[in-house]
Chain A
């Protein structure tokens, strides 16, 4: 009976769905039993709204044209929203007046973001309004808006933060590009005006004029003068905006130089068809770069190759004021924004690809990704920069936790995505400017040939490729573009693995690569420099590897949105790979900085010689053995991490390693399929137990003390000021990002920063930007291979976010890198402050309201050094009226205090509190805290002393990260030697006092052997302690439902000193 009913219901239901208008047959006896509603299909939400207009999400860029009014400019994808009345929708979304806040003068209009729903059409949109500047436009402004249109009513609100931050990113790119162009136009106009003025004056002096004409001339001149003043005014107000963003400047500049180089090499490359339009004069004029604005080097914004000595032309005076005509058709988006448009649109495109999917699948992906994070035993520093993974127990490293799952259609979409970044494609845009044809500029078919051109360029650029490398290059290139082998899943994996490791590799070795270009060596600590010979020997084989890698770096650095791709790859790696990279960090930690540091290569290391060495694996391993036995391990490691280098060499050196160090655990080699002559080497570091590092240390102790090697790291650090730096830098940061993203994507508490708003703060938006990571601009991260993890349910309380907050590292006018650079170069003695942070001693940055900006900067910079604890918000900014109490002090690790003028600093921070905190008094430029005596933080004063070398955040940032990693590495080995040691079992029976004494003794012994000095010891101990606390936390989360344990506040009763800030 019941089943029959159900069957009837089913039939009825399908009928209802087919004929929604026809009523349920009344003749049916059981009609009253049937549901009166139709079951909603979970997968066709859009259809439930009777939405036939929007098949798929799309991004609409619309403009309020001064001639036509609101009009759609561009749709992403090209055929998106075809059934949708874009014109009408444009009118709707552009019906805002967000520019009215400007009262007078030239002022950059703030962007506005609106989320709106059009219930008639079932469209839900997120609108981001930006105002671009155009010299030809009325009032020099052209309002645009970017709209994400979807039929899913939930998507906009669920993903609000993400869409918003993405839009901000795109707007930033566009506005920057636009400002460059606008600036160039203005300067040109200024030139024209002064030329016109001069022309008028000359013509007047030549001919005697009547009084009428004279007054006319006077009037005209006056007008010109006013106009020039106005333009100068705009220029001066615009200039700081452009100059503020050195990150983008550098990036654009990088594209320019690549373009230039590609141009230069095009004659030798295989395919230069798409480049032949270029004027050969371009390369002669190095200054003609449009990517950046700097006074000296590139005074012109010559993206479109304005002829340098172009004559200024006469300006029609009548058009200057009042009688300007606005009937000309205005420029397209690409013309307006140059590189910004290209990069911005590409970002939008990628972003849409990610977000167009069903909300549920986005959510599921996010959960999957969240399940991957092994945050237990992870030592992190500010902004979730990973220091070291302290995974201590076997259970954590279990292999079979994660099952790979592959969603073929998703992967296909990913790969049919236009491959970004070939400069030729930009060129084509430059020439065509078909805004609406934008999407066709990167066709999958053409990318193959473009890649070939890339290879050719890479080859000629680097000009030191070895034979093996070259042979593998084309395959790599082909595989990176859309290729015929897509349908081979195994192949896909290989590629991801390989790309991932590539990305990781380049990040580590970039600085060295930089150093290689320019052989300026900077002795950071020349007193500890080892013998030159030793170094040279040690560096030879490494250099070979760097060369090999530099090929790949160059190759990849051509990608414009490298970070996006890295993100994509980062997501693709499965749990295994995550661990791989985590452990690589642990295991290779000591190796990485050392390798990077030894970059003062002998001048006579010519490429030919390198090639020889490169090809001779035997020689390599001999060389490494020759230098040091322990070195051997490291060198082989770096070999391992060079996936595209010669496998034979790797194998040799690996065997070497195994021979020499018997105590090193077995290294598993997972050879990728050697299709297309490509060798993908996937090293499973998990099989190498953490004990290896201990053994290594012990063996080091026997032969040559560890500190020798560690300090050598500091002795040599080379940085280049050559042109290739920016490209590489870009890469290195984004790869760094990938690494940390893999590990930190889903930190349990992403809100490490809390923020108390200053009541009268004017720069609210700014402030938000600086301190709240939630709204951080971030980048596209499509988790294309959904991962299936068994422990999803274990982390139910994690908030899900699409993108990692870590993105912030790269972008934004107040990006951490830039702030860091400012702070480190402006203030000395910061090592004492950082020492406090690493010791867990709270740091208070105090000043009055006037110094708010400075306090913010210092906070932002110092946050990088705050070891991340899972328990509390370590950084905040307070506006304080009352006295700070002891109960306040333990709640933060780094705190900015803005005191009111009424109360002195001594009142806000009484003497009893000052005992326990380090005070950075911005007002009096003093630091009060413990003095740091050690070597680990010596990099801070050295950065301060060598501001000129650390010109760019892209050099500085990885460097600091490396230094932090070095520190965490030491903490890591300390932790495993002392805290988690099996030997502890011997004294487990002893009483507490004896145990603590024993522990203390062995800790001291270890630290002595490791050559750590007084202050360094404490740092290491504290960091190891942090990891212990994390483990206690973790155990708690599993077992109890009570509060988390309180975080111990350590009080050091040591004399404080006062330093100058």
Chain B
């Protein structure tokens, strides 16, 4: 959901691992909240869905108003507006920069993929060969190409030429929402409940090599943990860890017997996952969040009822000092991670600090 429309809420400090149902609130006094100035970037006319950080001074947002806007996040003004799509933008991805130009690829449900120059706002290329609504994009490492997923799966060169197309036969293969690259030039795609593995041949051809055992409910998140481990999570709350070599699920977390909950609200659904230090998995589960150790398969921490409603996004802020959660209720909460992890990793504080230090540099600070 939108990052821009989220409202700033409160910091909660010294979080206790209580299992109480009520959501903690902080009154006006927030001595640990480092954010004292907010910039409101206003130009979108519809719900903002996507936000990518370009560099330390710029970010780009896309909303349902079919526009993508590049912002200066230092002063908070609009740099360029990328307009051209006729349907909402579904995915954005920055192409690796060469010759000092920043290029952005946007995919849209208007069956187009556009390549933009981020500095000037010019549309460099319009790719129409995908021919179906594009749902996701994936930049392939080590190759100068990227993938687009939807009903088809297309492989494009960085210049925007179509290399190959693969069209699924079965209905369940036709709705690719998430893609992930794993080692040995393989792709994991998630369409609804199903996970499929593709291999990109040396000639650039795409071939389906395996269908993985499906989740019970649609897959909501797909991330890499380590080089040989990736994780997938679904609406029912189940998080599965897979080995890339055997393509088998070796571990699963948060398995709930009755995932649907009242009125099919799926209170345990996983909306977002994040990996720390190639070992710890941080997941937004329902209105709370949890941190798992993927090595030993333990749940380090599980905070239920962190928000009034489902957490949409999870990240680190302030050089990893805070875990930052944003939810549908319009609030963003900062959680003091150090305490959380120290509490949970009893006796291994040094390691926790290391985690935080390393992850901190990778996370972006979102300015609202």
Contact = CB atoms under 8 A, between A and B. Distances in A.
A890 B40 contact: yes
A211 interface: no
Given A915-B28, A1048-B38, A886 B8 contact: yes
Nearest to A1056: B28
A1051 interface: yes
B39 A1048 contact: yes
Given A885-B7, A1045-B75, A1050 B36 contact: yes
Nearest to A1046: B76
A1053 B31 contact: yes
A1042 interface: yes
B9 A912 contact: yes
Contacts of B75: 1032, 1045-1046
A1048 B38 CA distance: 5
Contact of A1042 (B9, B39, B77): B77
A662 interface: no
A887 interface: yes
Nearest to B37: A1048
B38 to A, nearest CB: 5
A987 interface: no
A345 B55 CA distance: 66
B27 A1055 contact: yes
Contacts of B33: 1051, 1053
A1049 interface: yes
Interface in A885-920: 885-887, 890, 912, 915
A706 to B, nearest CB: 28
A887 B2 CA distance: 13
Interface residues of B, number: 28
A886 B38 CA distance: 11
A1053 B30 contact: yes
A533 interface: no
A348 to B, nearest CB: 47
A1049 B37 contact: yes
Interface in B282-338: 330-331
Contact of A1049 (B38, B72, B78, B80): B38
A22 interface: no
A1053 B77 contact: no
Nearest to A1044: B77
B7 A886 contact: yes
A1049 B28 contact: no
B15 interface: no
B29 A1055 contact: yes
B38 A1043 contact: no
A1051 B77 contact: no
Interface in B240-292: none
Interface in A1003-1061: 1032, 1036, 1042-1056
Contacts of A1046: 39-42, 75-77
A205 B29 CA distance: 84
B157 to A, nearest CB: 33
Contacts of B40: 887, 890, 1046, 1049
Contacts of B37: 1048-1051
A890 to B, nearest CB: 5
B79 A1042 contact: yes
B147 to A, nearest CB: 34
Contact of B42 (A887, A915, A1050, A1055): A887
A949 B173 CA distance: 84
A677 B174 CA distance: 98
B5 interface: yes
Interface in A872-894: 885-887, 890
A1053 B28 contact: yes
A3 to B, nearest CB: 50
A921 B100 CA distance: 55
A29 to B, nearest CB: 58
Contacts of A1050: 36-38
Nearest to B39: A1046
Interface centre among A915, A1032, A1044, A1053 (most CB of B within 10 A): A1053
Contacts of B31: 1053
Interface string B75-107: 111111000000000000000000000000000
A915 B8 CA distance: 11
Contacts of A1051: 8, 33, 35-38
Nearest to B5: A887
Contacts of A1045: 72, 75-77
Contacts of B41: 1046
A1046 B330 CA distance: 21
Contacts of A1049: 37-40
Contacts of A1052: 36
Given A886-B8, A1045-B76, A1055 B28 contact: yes
Given A890-B38, A1043-B78, A1045-B76, A1053 B8 contact: no
Interface in B16-55: 27-31, 33, 35-43
Interface string A107-138: 00000000000000000000000000000000
A429 B64 CA distance: 73
Contacts of A1044: 77
A1046 B42 CA distance: 9
B7 A912 contact: yes
Contacts of B77: 1036, 1042-1046
Contacts of B5: 887
Given A1032-B75, A1046-B75, A1053 B38 contact: no
20 contacts: A887-B5, A887-B42, A890-B40, A1036-B77, A1045-B72, A1046-B40, A1046-B41, A1046-B42, A1047-B39, A1048-B38, A1048-B39, A1049-B38, A1050-B36, A1050-B37, A1051-B8, A1052-B36, A1053-B30, A1054-B29, A1055-B28, A1056-B28
Given A886-B330, A1048-B76, 5 more contacts: A1032-B75, A1042-B80, A1050-B36, A1053-B36, A1055-B27
- Nearest first, the 4 A-B pairs at minimum CB distance are A1046-B76, A1053-B30, A1045-B75, A1048-B37
